Every structure is written in C-alpha cells, then in structure tokens.
Structure 1
Amino acid sequence: MRYGINGSGRMLTEGVPGVLAGLTEAEAAGFSSYWVAQVGLIDALTLIGAHGETGSPMEIGTAVISTWERHPHMLAAQALTTQALVGDRLIVGIGVNHQPHVEQSLRLPWEKPVRHMADYLAILQDLLATGRASFQGEAWSFDGEGARPSEGVPKVMIAALGDQMLRLAGRRTDGTILWCVGPKTIAAHIAPAINDAAAAADRPEPAIVCSIPVWVTDDPEPARGFLGAILADYAQLPSYRAMMDIEGVEGLGELSIVGDEAFVRDQLGEIERSGATDFTPVPMGGDPDEVARTMAVLTEAMG
C-alpha cells in the first residue's frame, strides 16, 4: 500500500501558503502522493500549478473537483496547463458532488448522476489524451480540438461510492478516491465492485485511494469528539451515510484513526488488508507534538 497526504486540512487552517508548504514537505519525506481538495473559493488546480516542477516523482491529485461547475473542455484545459507546470504526475480527481449542494447552491437539477459522469468522462478523457473530442451526450456534449500544452496524459479518478459509479470507475478510469470510508466497507463493498468491473473490461487494477483523518494522541476521546463535531455534516450526506452504515459507525469521530502509536499502526494494517492501494490521511493533532507524532508514524509506515 502506498502512502500519501491529503492536504485539505491545511487548506482550511493555513490557506494557500500552508498547502504549498505541505507539498514541499511531502516531497522531501518521500510520500507517493499529495491531494488537494476543491475547497471554498480556493482553486485546486491553480494551487497545484503554483507548486511547479521540482523533479520529484510524487503524484499530485485533486480530491476532488466537482463536475457540475466546469464543462469537461474547460477542466481538460486547466488540467493540461497544470500538468505543463508540475510535470507528468497530475491526477485529475473528479466527482458529482452531492444533491443538496447541486440543487440548493448551484440551483441545478440533480438528474442521472451516473449518466452525467459517463458523459463527462467521454469528453474529458479524449481531450486529455488527444486534444480532440466529439461526443453528444444527455448531460454533456462537445465537438472540437485544440493544441495541448503538455504531452503527458494525466490519470483520471472519480469519487465513486455507489455500485453504479464504482463499476463506471473500474471500466473507464484509473481508480476511485474515497472519503468517509473505512476498511470494512472497502473490503466488503468498494474493492469487489471496482476490481470486478476493471477485470471485466480488461483494464489494469484500479487505485483505491482511502482518506480519513489520523491523529496520534494519548488522550483519544476528546480528539474523537472534536473530529465528530467539526466533521458532523459529512454524516448527514446520503452517499457518505451509506458508507458509514456499512462500516457500522455514526460519524467521523468513530471512523477516524485516533490513538497512540501502536493503535494507529494496527489500524493502518487493517486498511492495507482491506484492499486499499493507497492511504492518504488528513494528518491531525491537538498541538505541534501530536502533529509531529502523527507524521512520524505515517513516515515510518512508508517503509
């Protein structure tokens, strides 16, 4: 299992400078990947591009960009431009977001999300690979071509949780990026669906990227209570609620990996045995010492 870092926590607390610092630190430590969420009005691809080409092989991914706000032609242009800035190591992580956000904030109809994603991929992946696409779909259409600023082809992954989206991910993409998903759910639900779909389509084994908070501490109960409170909204979203129900937890306070070094190491082993190919935690801590202890365990786990 590969280890990366999800920098979304630093984005919320330290903004753009914190994430740029995190990218540099993760490269120096030897992590395999670093992930940046599309949070608020901070654009993930612009931020990644600002990091630039450093000669590091560490992959940098978006986890994730919502498809509703950007036509796939525009996202392809942004992604290829970003890749030209950072080198051939970009992963374009996308997702359909959630029905409440789409309907209440964007004022768009939530219709056929799987068809929406299938149409999106048809255009996006052709543009990323060749600079050309010709597709007429129900949700998205495009006919045209353009010069590509980067010769490499970025990987594409989707935030797939339900059966239909997992099958689409296995058939058409490089993998799935998970949030609010634990080892029981990966083993029983995520891995079988996406791996079977990839095998049926004669595609390589897809990545299963698991992200949850990790916090090394000698006093876990207050830490769990804090995480449960600040991340409570996730447990109310239907797609995440379904995953937590499979796992048998109420919220992220229970799902997160919180405890001393021995406990955290044991839980990392559970995730690896579940079938996850990558673990990209949000490192946490109540003070600098706990943050340092958390990072030390993750660095050690890389081997």
Structure 2
Amino acid sequence: MRIGLVVDEMGPSLETVIDQSRAAAEAGFAGVWLAQRTGRDALTTLAVAGRQVPGIELGTAVVPTYPRHPLALAAQALTVQEAVGNRLTLGVGVSHQFIIEDQYGYSFDRPARHLREYLSALAPLLRGESVSYQGETLKAVGAVDVAAATPPSVLVGALGPAMLRVAGELADGTITTWATAASLADHVVPEITKAAGGRTPRVVASTIVCVTSDEDERRAWVAENFGMVGQVPIYRAMLDRSHAAGPEDTVVIGDEAGVERQLRRLFDAGATELVVVLLGSDEEQARTTALLADLAG
C-alpha cells in the first residue's frame, strides 16, 4: 500500500514539523503532506523540511488557488521542486465560499470555471512554457524559468462532478477528504477516470485513521470536533453519497484487523494511495503508525 502521513504544519515549531517529517520517512511512509491553513505556509515549510528529510514525497493538501495567481504559484512550486530535488506533489483547491469571499474578498461565483481557467494557465507554466491566457476570470501572461526543476504532479481537491471533470482533464488526479470506499467506487473514481480520457488518474484518499480499543469514544470525538463539516455544502454532498450522518461515519477506526480491512476497501474502491491523519492518544497513534508502516512496507 502507498501511504503518506499528514504532518501538522501548525505545530509548536518548525523544528517539530521537520522532526515529524523525518520520523515519517524513517518509518517507511511514502510521503509527508501539509495543509494550508492559518499558520505556516505549506510550500515554504516543505522546502525547508525537504532539504533535511531526503527520499520521501512532499505534498500539499491543499493550497487554495484564489489568493495566488498562477504565475506566483508556479514560481513558488518550481522553487520548492528545485530545493527538494523534484519530490513535490502540488495539491491545489478552490477552498470554500465562506473562506474565499468572507476572508479574502474574492468572488466564489462558478468555482469550477475558475479552476479550469486557473489550471489552464498553471499547467504550462509548471512545464516551463510561456503562456498568454485570457479567461473570464483570470489573465496570465508570461513564463517562469526554474531550469533545474521538473513539473510537479498536480492534484486537485475535487469532490463534485464538475470539479472531478476538470481535475481529470487538466491535472494528474484528485485528493479527497471525507470520502468513503462507497463514494470513491460509485462517484469519484468513475467521474475522474472518464474525464482523464485513457490516462490513469491518481486518486489520493485523505482520511482520519485510529487504531483503538474504544471505537465509540473516538467516533464521538470526531463528531464533536468536526461536526461542522456536515454544514459545508460540498462535504455534505459527499456524506450524503455515502449515506453518512456525519464525518464520524467516514473515518477509519477500530482494532488492527478492523483498520486494515477498512483501508483495503479504500484501495479496492480505486484509491491509488492514502494520506492519513492520525487521531487519538500517544499510545493509539503509536499503534496506528506501527500498523500503517507495516502495511506501507
């Protein structure tokens, strides 16, 4: 199994992020993934950590598109590629209306159109090509020259049909969240594979995992702390596709045998790789890490 590990980019220090990334590499995980939230910049952090942690994929899950023009993001991503020896996977996404409009002040009108125009400019820029692109929402004219960097793999945080079509046509795949094996098999994989037109897209399933002796307590914790997920329209739609009451019904929780069965179902449903968010006490996380490292080996 190809399994990566989410490292908290908002941890107590940059050194902690580096130490956790190094531990993931030493444990045999395929990659280290950072979110882009209200703390450290994910790409900058990966550039720093990647210089000290060799031999592991470095991914963002995900960088919001609206605040970064394609020319700016291409320059940053290619700089990270050069810094880490071409190990970057660039995960991007449109984020959510309440973030893009209320925090950044951009219009969130027709986000799938925005994504299509954004990737139409970004993809050739990452290949070192010059662009002269004029869309309805975006203009990009110019090029980015980082000769030592190869184009990073580009994934899209895509869940709905329109976004999956764009991801299949213009990116290397998708990275999902709050998706179950059923929603992957019945919705995500068929939609993006059809759009990919003969290519095999990457389907990276991001999920919370916890090996525990108290499954009910851990699911209750997820329901209490992530209950607002069910109020976000795109996540609500994914939960409904899985007939899930809330996010607690999408996570992978149980004893070692139960967790392994659930993880295998995700791969059987078409996931090409997993990105794991650890949950639980130190002891539970140690049990989870040991199981995942064994499966990844």
Q: CA RMSD in A?
A: 1.6
AA aligned opposite 1:80? L
Counterpart contact for 1:91–1:155, Cα < 8 Å: yes
Query: Which residue is equivalent to 1:4?
Result: 4
TM-score, length basis structure 1:
0.93
CA distance in 2, matches of 1:181, 1:284: 17
CA distance in 1, matches of 2:242, 2:250: 8
Question: Which ranges in structure 2 are unaligned for 5 or more consecutive residues?
Answer: none
Question: Could you say if the C-alpha distance between residues 52 and 33 of structure 1 is closer, same or farther in structure 2, counting changes exceeding 3 Å?
Answer: closer
Matches within 5 A, 1:56-95: 56-95=54-93
Give yes or no for the alignment of 1:214 onto 2:212: no
TM-score, length basis structure 2:
0.95
Moved more, 270-279 or 15-24: 15-24
Matches within 5 A, 1:83-122: 83-122=81-120
AA aligned opposite 2:141? D
CA offsets 1:101-151 (integer angstroms, 9 cap, x no match): 122222222112111011111111111101522111111111112421533
CA distance in 2, matches of 1:243, 1:103: 22
Question: Could you say if the C-alpha distance between residues 13 and 89 of structure 1 is closer, same or farther in structure 2, counting changes exceeding 3 Å?
Answer: closer
CA distance in 1, matches of 2:166, 2:28: 32
Question: Which of 2, 23, 26 is the equivalent residue of 1:25?
Answer: 23
Deviation at 1:12, TM superposition (A): 4.3
Query: Which residue is equivalent to 2:292?
Result: 298
Counterpart contact for 1:213–1:256, Cα < 8 Å: yes
Counterpart contact for 2:9–2:42, Cα < 8 Å: no
| Secondary structure in structure 1 of the residue aligned to 2:158 | coil
CA distance in 2, matches of 1:39, 1:58: 22
CA distance in 1, matches of 2:17, 2:141: 36
CA offsets 1:199-219 (integer angstroms, 9 cap, x no match): x2x4x3110000111011101
Question: Which of 260, 284, 288 is the equivalent residue of 1:265?
Answer: 260
| Secondary structure in structure 2 of the residue aligned to 1:106 | coil
Moved more, 49-58 or 76-85: 49-58
Give yes or no for the alignment of 1:281 onto 2:276: yes
Q: How many percent of aligned residue pairs carry the same amino acid?
A: 37
Counterpart contact for 2:71–2:144, Cα < 8 Å: no
Query: Which residue is equivalent to 2:219?
Result: 224
Matches within 5 A, 1:179-194: 179-194=177-192
AA aligned opposite 1:290? E
Paired residues, number: 297
Question: Which of 131, 134, 140 is the equivalent residue of 2:132?
Answer: 134
CA distance in 1, matches of 2:251, 2:20: 21
CA offsets 1:7-40 (integer angstroms, 9 cap, x no match): 2xx3345453332222111111221121100021
CA offsets 1:33-52 (integer angstroms, 9 cap, x no match): 21100021320001001113
| Secondary structure in structure 1 of the residue aligned to 2:5 | strand
Counterpart contact for 1:155–1:174, Cα < 8 Å: yes
CA distance in 2, matches of 1:151, 1:61: 16
Deviation at 1:182, TM superposition (A): 0.9
